[in-house]
Amino acid sequence: MALLSMRRIRKSFGGTVANDDISIDVEAGEIRALLGENGAGKTTLMNILYGLYEADSGELFWKGRELGAHSPRESIAAGLGMVHQHFMLVPTLTVSQNVTLGLKSAGHPFPDRRKLDAKLAALSRLYGLDAPPAAKVASLSLGEQQRVEILKLLYRGAELLILDEPTAVLTPREAESFLAVLKRLKAEGHAVILITHRIAEVLQAADAITVLRGGRKVAELAAAEASPEELSRLMIGREVAKAGRARHGAASPSATTRTAASPAALRLDSVRLSERGREKLSGISLEVHGGEILGIAGIDGNGQRELAECVLGLRRSGSGSVRFGGSSVEGKGVAARARLGLAYVPDDRHRDGLVLDMDLAENFALKSLDRPGLRGRLFLNRSRLAAAAAEAIRDYGIKASGPSSGARLLSGGNQQKLILARELAGSPSIVVVSQPTRGLDVGAAEFVRERLIERRDAGAAILLISADLDEILALSDRIAVMHRGRLSESLANDEGLDLTRLGLLMAGEGAETPA
């Protein structure tokens, strides 16, 4: 009898199906990897198991007994534990205080801390989870904090541990010792579910692998029988990618016939950026020419936002150079770079793209205040602004009652159209777009993509950052992959594109030479 058995789990949010008829079994002493891209449904499935969401349908058996609607508290009591991607620790408390937080230890409310520390130390030794009980969590590295999270679960008697992208925050050495911990857990009879998109790790640590794609289970296989190429193919899904690419065709003639002598519209040379002691960008070099789209694929949080904001001028790179059309933009701010023809469509439209409490015309004007044509050095030409916004509403098919309707009241798709209208208004020569269709319905997404293609064909250099591989494949002329602050070489997106190789690069395997 399996320790855990999830049967035909189904869950949808609004119209999107996040989990479609997924079944999964986990035995005691087994390490089960749940492999898939962003948005494949891994985290949703685990949140259902842990009790954060309730499934629309399906059954859940724990040690042979049905577990109906349950809360995380009940999950913990039953012996299920989850380590979230973002740790849930109180930084000002010590390791031992964090571990025992919320428990009524012997002597409550004045527990014998020394006894607890000794118990904790014994547990640490047993599993090789080295963490000083008296140290403040704030003083620990991320790897140590993760060990505290795991200790916390073990201290509470967890038999099944769910680990969400556990190595995402670890250095390579920490990741290695983490894999050793996994082996110890297995030896002590614990079951582990590993949520991850890293193929190498899966092959090293897991016993069995379940691959999810687009909310469905596409494969279930033993780790011993799996190859990285096969897993990569299963994760990405070749047929989906092919279908996407067929829609927009190949690069425009101008891109393919450009001469090597003309300088790239956008060029980065070994750009480095460190923030709070962590290296976010480790020497990024790339070139985008007029009339082409360079797609940056990769899982979120590998430095894409930092890259975009270094080009934008919002962050200053530590070293390296950014050039527009051959001349350095070093020392130039956001406004100066925009005047040189740079447009930016940010990934977080609510925070970085729009002023939600302003109306549509004002949002449209955010970037065009200094443009010639809006006469008057001091005063706003309100009627001119309203006319410009009305034109954008018409041209981009923005559904709004008029230029004076609030940006907050627009739907996500219409908000994105508004940003696009504003950014593309000055016929920019360089366009940086980040996750341009995230959260949009199919129609709006298609509209946004068509505008980008249109801009490219008009000669703009477009840097497209997206975690949606289908989108990258459908739009890009060349593709590079970002992983842990590094950018891979770029691959031409043509018939000869090796999808398996692309998948491996996304998982952090492969040569890392400049694009």
Partner 1 sequence: MRALGLALSYAASGLVLLAAAAGAIAAAGCDPAAAAAGFARGAFGSVYGLSEVVVRATPLALAGLGVALGFRAGFFNIGSEGQIYLGAAGATATALLFPGLPPWALAPLCLLAGAAAGGAWAAVPGLLKARFGLSEAINTIMFNYIAINLVGILVRTLLKDPANPLPMSPRLPEASFLPVIVPGTRLHAGFLLALASAAFVAVLIGWTKAGFRMRAVGLAPRAAAACGISVAGNVLLASTLSGALAGLAGASEIAGVHHRLLEGISPGFGYLAIIVALLGRNRPAGVVASALGIAALQVGSTAMQRSAGVPTSIAWIIMGLLVALILARPTLFRSLIGAEGGKR
Which one among 28, 168, 203, 334 touches partner 1, defined by CB under 8 A?
A: 334
Residues 35-64 that bind partner 1 (CB under 8 A): none
Residues 6 or more apart in contact with residue 112 via CB below 8 angstroms: 105, 106
# residues contacting partner 1 (CB under 8 A): 32
Instruction: Please report whether residue 357 would count as binding partner 1 according to CB under 8 A.
Output: yes
DSSP H stretches of helix in 59-129: 72-78, 95-100, 113-127
Q: Which is nearer to partner 1, 84 or 384 (CB)?
A: 384
Which one among 212, 312, 322, 430 touches partner 1, defined by CB under 8 A?
A: 312
* Angle at CA of residue 149, ends 144 and 150, nearest 5°: 95
Least distance (Å) from partner 1 to the CB of residue 378?
5
Q: Which is nearer to partner 1, 380 or 387 (CB)?
A: 380
Which one among 138, 366, 387, 492 touches partner 1, defined by CB under 8 A?
A: 366
Instruction: Please report whether residue 436 would count as binding partner 1 according to CB under 8 A.
Output: no
Which one among 73, 86, 115, 382 touches partner 1, defined by CB under 8 A?
A: 382
Instruction: Please report whether residue 353 would count as binding partner 1 according to CB under 8 A.
Output: yes
Nearest to 10 by CA among 19, 482, 114: 19
Least distance (Å) from partner 1 to the CB of residue 478?
26
Least distance (Å) from partner 1 to the CB of residue 367?
5
Tell me the longest C-alpha to C-alpha distance in the chain: 79
Which one among 17, 121, 179, 358 touches partner 1, defined by CB under 8 A?
A: 358
Instruction: Please report whether residue 387 would count as binding partner 1 according to CB under 8 A.
Output: no
With CB under 8 A as the contact rule, which of the stretches 70-78, 114-122, 270-278, 375-383 interacts with partner 1?
375-383
Residues 395-434 that bind partner 1 (CB under 8 A): 406, 408-409
Which one among 355, 399, 439, 492 touches partner 1, defined by CB under 8 A?
A: 355
Instruction: Please report whether residue 276 would count as binding partner 1 according to CB under 8 A.
Output: no
Which one among 172, 225, 331, 379 touches partner 1, defined by CB under 8 A?
A: 379
The single-letter code of the amino acid at 429 is: S
Least distance (Å) from partner 1 to the CB of residue 339?
8
Query: Measured on CA atoms in the order 222, 38, 75, 16, is the torsion positive or negative?
Result: negative
H or E element in which residue 155 lies: helix 142-155
Secondary structure (H, E, C), 458-506: CCCEEEEECCCHHHHHHHCCEEEEEECCEECCCEECCCCCCHHHHHHHH
Q: Look up residue 270 and give its two tokens.
A: 């070994």
Using DSSP, state whether 55 is helix, strand or coil.
coil
Which one among 2, 179, 240, 356 touches partner 1, defined by CB under 8 A?
A: 356
**Distances in whole angstroms, Cα of residue 54 to Cα of each of 10, 64, 83, 162:** 10, 19, 19, 17
Query: Measured on CA atoms in the order 232, 237, 239, 242, is the torsion positive or negative?
Result: negative
* Angle at CA of residue 72, ends 68 and 74, nearest 5°: 60
Least distance (Å) from partner 1 to the CB of residue 404?
12
Q: Which is nearer to partner 1, 221 or 356 (CB)?
A: 356
Instruction: Please report whether residue 351 would count as binding partner 1 according to CB under 8 A.
Output: yes
Instruction: Please report whether residue 315 would count as binding partner 1 according to CB under 8 A.
Output: no
Using DSSP, state whether 365 is helix, strand or coil.
helix
Q: Where are the beta strands (DSSP E) in 113-207?
A: 160-164, 191-196
Least distance (Å) from partner 1 to the CB of residue 313?
8
Least distance (Å) from partner 1 to the CB of residue 407?
10
Instruction: Please report whether residue 90 would count as binding partner 1 according to CB under 8 A.
Output: no
Least distance (Å) from partner 1 to the CB of residue 125?
44
**Distances in whole angstroms, Cα of residue 31 to Cα of each of 26, 108, 207, 222, 223:** 8, 36, 5, 11, 10
Residues 177-206 that bind partner 1 (CB under 8 A): none
Which one among 2, 168, 170, 314 touches partner 1, defined by CB under 8 A?
A: 314
**The 191-196 sheet, strands edge to edge:** 80-83, 160-164, 191-196, 31-35, 208-213, 216-222
Phi-psi region of 62 (alpha: psi -120 to 50; beta: other; left: phi over 0): beta
Residues 216-235 that bind partner 1 (CB under 8 A): none
Q: How far apart are CA 223 and CA 207, in angstroms?
A: 5
Phi-psi region of 64 (alpha: psi -120 to 50; beta: other; left: phi over 0): left
Which one among 367, 451, 483, 486 touches partner 1, defined by CB under 8 A?
A: 367
Instruction: Please report whether residue 333 would count as binding partner 1 according to CB under 8 A.
Output: yes
| Pairing relationship of beta strands 31-35 and 16-26 according to DSSP bridges | unpaired
Least distance (Å) from partner 1 to the CB of residue 449?
22
With CB under 8 A as the contact rule, which of the stretches 57-65, 152-160, 211-219, 331-339 interacts with partner 1?
331-339
Which one among 37, 149, 362, 477 touches partner 1, defined by CB under 8 A?
A: 362
Instruction: Please report whether residue 126 would count as binding partner 1 according to CB under 8 A.
Output: no
Q: How far apart are CA 395 and CA 397, in angstroms?
A: 6
**In terms of residues, how long is the chain?**
515
* Binding site residues, partner 1, CB under 8 A: 312, 314, 333-338, 344, 346, 351-358, 362, 365-367, 369, 376-380, 382, 406, 408-409
